Amino acid sequence: MGSIAVCSVIPPHILRSIAERGDASARRDAQASLDLSAAFRGERLAVAVLAGPPLLPSATRRRTIFDARNATELPGKRVRSEGTPRSNDAAVNEAYESAGATLEFFRRAYERNSLDGCGLRLDATVHYGVRHDNAIWNGIQLIYGDGDGRYFRRFTGAIDVAAHELTHGIVQYTAALDYQGQSGALNEHFADVFGVLAKQYSAKQTAARADWLVGAGIFTRRVKGDAVRSMKAPGTAYDDPILGRDPQPAHMRDYFKTRLDNGGVHVNSGIPNHAFFQVATLLGGKAWDVSGRIWYRALTQLLRSKSTFQDCADATYEAAATLFGRSSAPHQAVLAGWKAVGITLSESVIRRGPRLQIKAAEAFHPPAGGAEVSVEIPLLRVSEGTEC
């Protein structure tokens, strides 16, 4: 298994910017948040092994919410379990509900039973640390800070944040993408894809109507920005004197080489993110139905820990052919989507099987006005690829 993604929704470049440019108290909070995230990463947990094997394969959700009471001991005091009444604490209820909505999305859209496909229990801790500026997946559980209240609101309310973090858990049990360089950026990419798809699913939004933003609503009004990332227009999510400017590229020619942030995992994910956006909007309709299914199959069946952007492009192309047929609209849209970000599919994957008419694929025109392309949606086998 590859390295575990210890992911925080607020990427380190934003916190570093606040730690340099903010006032004294904001600087302190940002630096403390950075230090805590670094501590998680340093732990090198053998968590995937710790978390499994699952106790009971079951379709029942098993959520437990804990309260750290502003300390950093995990998991904290248990405050709400599956099926128990609402708490008086909004953060507790939000954490419970966003986790529930995420699990429900994966179950209904992809027949996936929790993170490991086998009904793994799901734990989340709220009120972690003092004004902690992040939501974190540490390989075992979700962790929510309260935010500093100045630049960040509390992180429990946004379903795309919960779904992003929980998708890191799914990646851990499937492709186990190494959290470094391109495979790390793919790890971030899949977390963003299923983060926004969970949001679109719960809001019943089509690709054309969705905002394609990750983490909308976690900045306070003080921040000049809409969200942490934009899949529609990477590099435009925020531009703020204290937080800095969204550094995400949308094309391979702007691929960002850095040693920070595990080789820019939160930066270069903009490239595959935008490819996904292109595919989903070319096809129109509900993005989780067709594009989401292609990406889900690539993640759970085809990719491996060292996969690159090229591998992901080839895998989604192959998945689209398997699910919808060669030369189908989804198959062609995948080709066009990757091409838009500067990635050409491998010769070998194009040559495989019946010859695809590349000319026809390149001439593929999207349906007007975000209308839906008519495709047969195949049924998934229950627990495809998973043995509990």
Report the catalytic residues. 165, 266
Q: With CB under 5 A, what is the number of residues at the site for Zn ion? A: 3
Interface residues for Zn ion in 114-153 (CB under 5 A)? none
Q: Which is nearer to Zn ion, 54 or 145 (CB)?
A: 145
Distance in angstroms (rounded) separating the CA atoms of residues 139 and 44? 10
7 part of the interface to Zn ion, by CB under 5 A: yes
Q: Which residue is nearest to Zn ion (CB)?
A: 7
Q: Which is nearer to Zn ion, 120 or 166 (CB)?
A: 166
Cα angle value 118/160/373 (rounded, 5°)? 85
For residue 103, the number of C-alpha atoms closer than 13 Å in the C-beta half-sphere is 24
Is the Cβ–Cβ distance between 287 and 200 less than 8 Å?
A: yes
Q: Which token pair is 376?
A: 């047969």
Q: Which is nearer to Zn ion, 191 or 319 (CB)?
A: 191
Q: How far is the CB of 3 from Zn ion (least distance, A)?
A: 14
10 part of the interface to Zn ion, by CB under 5 A: no
Q: How far is the CB of 173 from Zn ion (least distance, A)?
A: 16
Distance in angstroms (rounded) separating the CA atoms of residues 108 and 1? 28
Q: Which is nearer to Zn ion, 118 or 191 (CB)?
A: 191
Q: How far is the CB of 268 from Zn ion (least distance, A)?
A: 13
Q: How far is the CB of 192 from Zn ion (least distance, A)?
A: 7
Interface residues for Zn ion in 263-292 (CB under 5 A)? none
Distance in angstroms (rounded) separating the CA atoms of residues 69 and 76? 7
Q: Which is nearer to Zn ion, 154 or 266 (CB)?
A: 266
Cα angle value 110/339/311 (rounded, 5°)? 55
Instruction: Give the containing element (helix H, strand E) for 41.
Output: helix 24-42
Instruction: Give the containing element (helix H, strand E) for 138.
Output: none
Q: Which token pair is 324?
A: 């919808």
Q: Is the peptide bond before 378 cis (omega within 30 degrees of 0)?
A: no
Distance in angstroms (rounded) separating the CA atoms of residues 269 and 272? 6
Q: How far is the CB of 276 from Zn ion (least distance, A)?
A: 15
Q: How far is the CB of 19 from Zn ion (least distance, A)?
A: 20
Distance in angstroms (rounded) separating the CA atoms of residues 6 and 158? 19
Strand, helix or coil for residue 166: helix
Query: Which span (7-15, 34-42, 109-117, 332-340) binds Zn ion, by CB under 5 A?
Result: 7-15
Is the Cβ–Cβ distance between 284 and 210 less than 8 Å?
A: no
Write each residue from 37 to 76 as x if it is in contact with Zn ion (CB under 5 A), else as -, in one continuous string. ----------------------------------------
Q: Which is nearer to Zn ion, 29 or 160 (CB)?
A: 160
Residue found by looking up tokens 């933003």 in the block: 213
Interface residues for Zn ion in 169-228 (CB under 5 A)? 188, 191
Distance in angstroms (rounded) separating the CA atoms of residues 361 and 331? 8
Q: How far is the CB of 191 from Zn ion (least distance, A)?
A: 4
Q: Which is nearer to Zn ion, 216 or 329 (CB)?
A: 216
Q: What DSSP string describes 206-265?
A: -TTT---EESTT-B-TTSSBS-SEESSSTT-SBEETTTEE----SSGGGPPP-SSHHHHH
Contacting residues toward Zn ion, per CB under 5 A: 7, 188, 191
